[in-house]
Amino acid sequence: MPAGGLRSSLMTVTDAPTLRDRKKQQTRIDLVAAALALFEDRGYHATSIDDIAARANCSRRTFFRYFDSKEDVAFGDGLERLAQFRSRLEGSAPAEDAVQDVCDLLREQTLAFTGDPVDQATVELWFREPVLRRRYTEIVLSWEEAAAAYIAASRGTDPESDVVAQIVATALCGVAKAALQAGLQGQQAAEATLTNGFALVLGGVDAALRR
């Protein structure tokens, strides 16, 4: 992997959080926990923003400091984490093995949502509630666009016309989506789906990319 590529771009240094930062993070965690509990008890559509704020012992105004909508709180910090996939690809120079880079990043992003009970609860909600499933599907489509652009750049082609890059990107992101859903049964299920799914896709990728 050349210097300045995707892997090197992942090496960042963060400052230790201040007390104010920790308090803000705890409030955010409390709001998400309250929302998930209410969604489970009452259902997504029967739960209001006022209900969530009251359960978290904060005001409606405080809720909107952290989330723009009930849909957003259902994703927790998932929207930011999911958006990292696109931003990290777009901020990196394409590598010689761009397809493997995409696989590695998809694996990292997917497994980050498995193993933790809160993450699993939010993911289960995304797949269960139609409005949240549509939002997640939109995110996956943006992943496909970013992955296709990254792969096409490594081939020196236009992603808008490089059908091979588009097909490969869609297939790889489809594996990640299937693995995320499999991860509701545990991290091992997600890992197995990623390994087997990528192997299935990559079996035909080499020949396709040589065309």
The answer on 58 and 156 residing in a single domain is no
Q: Specify whether the CB–CB gap between 125 and 189 falls below 8 A.
A: no
Inside any domain, residue 68: yes
Please tell me which residue, 191 or 118, carries the higher pLDDT value. Answer: 191
Q: Does the pLDDT at position 175 exceed 60?
A: yes
Question: Does residue 168 sit within a domain?
Answer: yes
pLDDT on residue 86: 87
Q: What is the DSSP code (8-state) at residue 58? A: S
Tell me the per-residue pLDDT of 108-148, one tens digit each, with 9 for 90 and over. Answer: 999 998 888 888 889 999 999 999 999 999 999 999 999 99
For residues 56 and 156, membership in a common domain is answered with no
Total domain count for the chain? Answer: 2
The verdict on residue 8 lying in a domain is no
DSSP 8-state secondary structure symbol assigned to residue 129: S
Task: Evaluate if residue 149 carries a pLDDT over 90.
Answer: yes
Would you say residue 26 has pLDDT above 60?
A: yes
In sequence order, the 6+-apart residues with CB closer than 8 A to the CB of 198 are 103, 107, 172, 175
CATH (domain of 134): 1.10.357.10
Distance CA 100, CA 112 (A): 18
4 domain residue, yes or no: no
Q: Which SS3 state, helix, strand or coil, does residue 72 take?
A: helix
Same domain, 187 and 147: yes
**What rounded mean pLDDT belongs to the chain?**
87
86, part of any domain: yes
Residue 3 has pLDDT above 60, yes or no: no
Say whether both 101 and 162 belong to one domain.
yes
Q: DSSP string spanning 167-198?
A: HHHHHHHHHHHHHHHHGGG-HHHHHHHHHHHH
Q: Do residues 177 and 127 touch, judged by C-beta distance below 8 A?
A: no
CA 139/CA 76 separation, integer angstroms: 15
Region 148-158: mean pLDDT is 93
Each residue of 65-107: pLDDT tens digit? 999 999 999 988 888 888 888 888 888 887 778 999 999 999 9
Task: State the Cα angle at 190 between 189 and 191, rounded to 5°.
Answer: 90
* Same domain as 184, residue 153: yes
Domain extent, residue 23, equals: 19-73
